[in-house]
Structure 1
Amino acid sequence: MVLRGWRLVLNRVIFIPQRYVLGIMGLFALANSFTMRVCLSMTITQMVTKTAPSEHIIGEVCPDYDQETNVTKDITPYNSSSVFVVRERYDWDEATQGLLLSAFYYGYVITHLPGGILAEKFGGKWTLGLGLLVTSVATALTPLAVYLGGAVGLFIIRVIEGLGEGTVTPAFVLLLARWVPASERSRFGAMIFGGAQVGNIFGPYLSGLIMADGGDWHNVFYFFGGLGVIWFLFWTVLCYSTPNIHPFISDEEKKFLNDSISASGLHKKLNPVPFKALLRSKALWALMLAAVGHDWGYFTMITDLPKYFSDVLKFNIKETGLMSALPYVAMYICSFTFASICDYCIHKKWHTIGTGRKIYTTISATIPAIFMMLASYSGCDRIAAVAYFIVSMAFMGGFYSVKINPMDIAPNYAGTCSAFSNGLAAVSGIITPYLVGLLTPDQSIHQWRIAFWLIFGVLIGTNLIYVIWGSGEPEWWDDVDKYGYPPDWKHGPLKKRREDFEKKVVYPKHDHSPIAAD
């Protein structure tokens, strides 16, 4: 009775459409998940012992403009107003640091596909919520893991964080497919997935403030892990897997969503995932490779850009936090701009959904690739380098109009398709930090330039593949009852329905479309 009374009160008080409540909570979820993901990129600059560059460095090495100030802060545990805790610094080389920065993605990749399948079976609410709760608790336990196990302990706890967070994107894509009409998808995609940029903005910036002037890096993990637990408590009360089970959604909104959303999973139980058709889909493979290209550049930036600002351009920790946040401010703003333009053009029928996805894939790949290269050739010019990185990440925001492409090609199996695309792309997060560590042992500009040329090639190549084979139309295997089998399908039926047996359906040798027997 008490629960019912609360539901009646909420139904009267909450006048905001519930899909927007979901969108706002999704924004906070992605924001907090990315602060927990990227905070190590900042803290590791204060966790490791700084070594002098070797004499055989090839290429430019920038002067340390704040050398005297930095030395004073490193060795002075006490001043007139504060007492600082002096933590042990670890002797981890660049390759080890790269491995630790990539550890998160080992777990992140593993749970993508199970996360998508679980979301389709049990709903996105608990799959996503419990996953982020695991990440939040593991983040808060990170200092303890480092104390007990050093680099090995840090690697293990980061893998656990990734295991929890791997469910987030597949579950959210499925939730959007259940909650958001096609004409609003780009905006909601930008709203929710743009939360990643909020995390990328506040993660480095707040971490820099917490650690400035001798602050303890332990507090960074306690702070962001605690925020994740608080978010989970609100999520359990306010958000639900579909409009039809939401206890205080308005009747008008529920009717609108049921009438305008095409995913049949909203109205009936889905059949098992058609893996043999899904894995033969050119549109899905094109999306997966486009996501690999985007994440190759994106993950290099979120994991290694703080190190570039700190170790190459020699910003101090407070400046590094601010400089690392600025590119994501631009990316966040531009993601909404691009998404609104894309939705408007689709609504006006100026171009199709597929054409829009290809336009913004190209924008988010080619322009960032060019400006990353310009940044690498700007040498020790701090202002130019930061400006080029800001422009690069701003245009990378166009990819959020493409990230929702699984809802276009497979609204019923959007969770699984998103798991494939985002999961394969996340392999970049395993490769790039370790590879950058190997390519930049001395943190010289010349060594970093090689890493940026590699990003350039991956972005341009994967974009061309998507432009050729990408699609914005539903694939036939998403709803065989509606679309039937294509003429060239030679791999047997995707499912055997009870009514097929009742009608004695037979499948001809060369045509696998079901037909009734005479």
Structure 2
Amino acid sequence: MENGEPPAPVQKLLEEEKAVTSEKINNNNNNVCFRILQSCCFIPQRYILSIIGLLGVCNAYTMRVCLNLAITQMVRFNQTSKDYIDENACPSDEIINNVTTTITEKPYAIFDWDQSTQGLILSGFYYGYAVTQVPGGYLAERFGGKWILGVGLLSTALFTFLTPIVVKIGGATWLFVLRVLQGMGEGPTMPGLMLMLARWIPPHERSIHVALVFGGAQIGNIFGSFMSGILLADGRDWAYVFYFFGGFGIVWFILWSFLCYSTPNTHPYISKKELNYLNTKVTIAESQNVKDPVPWKAILRSAPVWALVCAAVGHDWGYYIMVTDLPKYSNDVLKFNIATTGTLTALPYVAMLISSVPFGLMCDLGIKKGWHSVKTGRIIYTTIAATGPAICIILASYAGCDRTAAMVYFVLSMALMAGYFSGMKVNALDLAPNYAGTLTSFLNTISTCAGITIPFLIGLMTPNSTLTEWRGAFWVCFAVLVGTNVMYCVWVDGKQQWWDDVRQFGYPSDWKHGPIIKEHILQQSEVVKLCDQK
């Protein structure tokens, strides 16, 4: 032993003991921190999840819609033919030498894209969005929704931030590819959120929480449209729009990482009172369900699922018309200047946000008081959300150049569309709380076809952006909204489906398509049930 040092084996033991002691101290410090957070956080964690989820949906929609307004300042002309003259054109806000003109000076407009090209670029997002829906839902169910959703939105934020650089290098082609990648990042958002809500929210609270979380879509549309209008006003560079909203997405990801967790049981500082409450009230199957394959065989044969598909297609068709094309309609047809367009296109989403909360409260109260069943509630609010906007959109098109009347109809249509949150939007949680992520991803994959179709179809139907051309597009929207709502009302259901938990419900007597989970696992589960009963 040199210099009074202990022998090597003793020194090694001392180092190991020091490491163990250090780990215990760190764990105790962590436990102390969590206890402090637990005592300080008087807001239930399920409400924090809903609030941060609201901001996440808001973030997703700002990044989705910011191009819709920016593209009006990226292109030199909004008409397919420069020489086309529309006799019924509305007067413009821009007056030069006492002569009304439909062409506004755009100092940063560097692209010559016709209406079809613009429609294809705007639809690019939904190609990617559709591709990652089902994989996103599957991964969320396997590994939890927190990181699948969070990393997806972070990637979209980074792509948004890079948009000005990419489009200036590669033009329309590279912008289309980038929009596809942005859509792929956002694909897991809705399946991941629905799965987390199914794990966190009791059935009698779902309408209001879903209305709160998905009200973030309206806040995103309001914030995105309003801020885009301000950032683009006075001839400013459209690149600022993408830098601003990309940065907003990165900040949200930091909040999400520290405040939200996939399930109540994995949350480090949830109160014991809330944890016990959620474990008692939230309907989920045994943990071994995660090992089971998704019951596609039963899902694809389920009439209530196809009812939801119909309603989802109708909702997305009407919603994407407003989100994607209302800025173009306001700028090209009603001839608002860009700052006014940003403000006015935000108003319908303000109305939708405000009305979503009363709809959610009324639906939950009606179910709790026994005034109507869950199924009847879903039918009532889905019908309000489909037929009301269908009528208002048509009335707006026949308002002609009466800007006030047209915008009032658009605002009213979105206010009524908020009924979807208490109707078909929450219905996936009713049918399949254990496979909410997969079911939502399946619905979104099909309904996103509307998002792919609409911008391109609108571009084809409105080559010169005239009022008459847009009226035809709105009539197509009317037919889709009303038709899909009728099919939803015929097949809808409000109860948990047998295939969502075969261990509990078993197979129906008329099921002739083989097992949907491994037979020996089902038999073991039944034996365990019998033992528990004894």
> Which TM-score applies when normalising by structure 2?
0.89
Report if the CA contact (8 A) 1:59-1:444 is conserved.
Answer: no
1:322 aligns with 2:350: no
Q: Specify the alignment match of 1:62 in structure 2.
A: 90
Q: Specify the alignment match of 2:231 in structure 1.
A: 210
Alpha-carbon distance change, 501 to 32 in structure 1, aligned in 2, over 3 angstroms: closer
1:482 aligns with 2:510: no
Alpha-carbon distance change, 449 to 243 in structure 1, aligned in 2, over 3 angstroms: same
Structure 1 residue 59: deviation in Å? Answer: 6.8
What percent of counterpart residues are identical?
A: 53
Query: Which deviations, in whole Å up to 9, do the C-alpha atoms of 1:407-445 show, x marking residues without a partner?
Result: 100111011111111221111110001000100011111
1:419 aligns with 2:441: yes
Q: Specify the alignment match of 2:317 in structure 1.
A: 296
Instruction: Map 1:63-78 onto structure 2 (within 5 A).
Output: 63-68=91-96
Alpha-carbon distance change, 494 to 302 in structure 1, aligned in 2, over 3 angstroms: same
Q: 1:305 aligns with which of 326, 339, 361?
A: 326
Structure 1 residue 483: deviation in Å? Answer: 1.0
Instruction: Map 1:225-236 onto structure 2 (within 5 A).
Output: 225-236=246-257
Q: Specify the alignment match of 2:457 in structure 1.
A: 435
Question: SS in structure 1 opposite 2:243?
Answer: helix
Instruction: Map 1:28-47 onto structure 2 (within 5 A).
Output: 28-47=55-74
Amino acid at match of 2:58: A
CA distance in 2, matches of 1:20, 1:481: 31
Alpha-carbon distance change, 55 to 190 in structure 1, aligned in 2, over 3 angstroms: same
Question: SS in structure 1 opposite 2:425?
Answer: coil
Amino acid at match of 1:445: L
Structure 1 residue 73: deviation in Å? Answer: 11
Query: Which deviations, in whole Å up to 9, do the C-alpha atoms of 1:20-68 show, x marking residues without a partner?
Result: 0000000100011100000000000000012566666677211213233
Alpha-carbon distance change, 122 to 504 in structure 1, aligned in 2, over 3 angstroms: closer
Q: Specify the alignment match of 2:53 in structure 1.
A: 26
Query: Which deviations, in whole Å up to 9, do the C-alpha atoms of 1:86-144 show, x marking residues without a partner?
Result: 43420000000000111100000011101111110000111111111111111101111
Instruction: Map 1:349-360 onto structure 2 (within 5 A).
Output: 349-360=370-381
Report if the CA contact (8 A) 1:57-1:442 is conserved.
Answer: no
Q: Specify the alignment match of 2:195 in structure 1.
A: 174
Q: Specify the alignment match of 1:185 in structure 2.
A: 206
Alpha-carbon distance change, 501 to 331 in structure 1, aligned in 2, over 3 angstroms: closer
CA distance in 1, matches of 2:317, 2:244: 28
Q: 1:344 aligns with which of 358, 362, 365?
A: 365
CA distance in 1, matches of 2:344, 2:203: 37
Amino acid at match of 1:92: W
Unaligned runs of 5+ in 1: 77-85, 506-518
CA distance in 1, matches of 2:525, 2:124: 53
CA distance in 2, matches of 1:358, 1:72: 44
Alpha-carbon distance change, 51 to 375 in structure 1, aligned in 2, over 3 angstroms: closer
Question: SS in structure 2 opposite 1:194?
Answer: helix
1:119 aligns with 2:140: yes
Structure 1 residue 455: deviation in Å? Answer: 0.2
CA distance in 2, matches of 1:179, 1:186: 13
Report if the CA contact (8 A) 1:205-1:325 is conserved.
Answer: yes
Q: How many equivalent residue pairs?
A: 496
> Which TM-score applies when normalising by structure 1?
0.92
Question: Cα RMSD between the aligned structures?
Answer: 2.1
Q: Specify the alignment match of 1:12 in structure 2.
A: 39
Deviating more after overlay: 478-487 vs 443-452:
478-487
1:460 aligns with 2:482: yes
Query: Which deviations, in whole Å up to 9, do the C-alpha atoms of 1:206-227 show, x marking residues without a partner?
Result: 0000111121111111111111
Question: SS in structure 2 opposite 1:367?
Answer: helix
CA distance in 2, matches of 1:478, 1:34: 30
Alpha-carbon distance change, 59 to 355 in structure 1, aligned in 2, over 3 angstroms: farther
CA distance in 2, matches of 1:391, 1:100: 29
Alpha-carbon distance change, 395 to 88 in structure 1, aligned in 2, over 3 angstroms: closer
Report if the CA contact (8 A) 1:290-1:466 is conserved.
Answer: yes
CA distance in 2, matches of 1:268, 1:97: 45
Unaligned runs of 5+ in 2: 1-25, 528-534
